[in-house]
Amino acid sequence: MRVIPNGSNQNIIESKGCRVLYSYSTPVALLSPDGVWYRTDQKHSATTSKHINKFIPGGKDNPNVVLVPQGVMDTWDSGAHEAFAPGTLDLNSLEVSGLMVDDPTSWGDC
């Protein structure tokens, strides 16, 4: 695991092929090993929103970012969700409404 300072009150954690943005002490965005971008669907402060928009290419205007519940982001490193493991994300199997994943069930290695 590697911790990279990314500015005031934000760090990027690199672990298991993932890059995860922490704003303050909360994981709020993630780049999976397959190159898929995820961000929390929870509304945060203006500062945290700026952190996320700086981390994700195209920020809030990027239409290819998958929104996930904050509870899912909180467990990114538990091995409970296969979407963050390389080669396991099947976008056709996700229930997508504006790229919102309502209940991913297992995210794997990341």
- The DSSP code sequence of the chain is -EEEE-STTEEEEEETTEEEEEETTEEEEEE-TTS-EEEE-S---HHHHHHHHHHSTTGGG-TTPEEE-HHHHTTTTTTEEEBTSTT---GGGS-BSSSBBS----ETT-
Which of 25-29, 54-58, 67-71, 87-91 has the least mean pLDDT? 87-91
pLDDT higher than threshold 70 for residue 43: yes
Domain of residue 52 covers 2-107
Q: How many domains, in total, are found in the chain?
A: 1
Q: What is the pLDDT of residue 61?
A: 85
- Report the mean per-residue pLDDT for the chain: 79
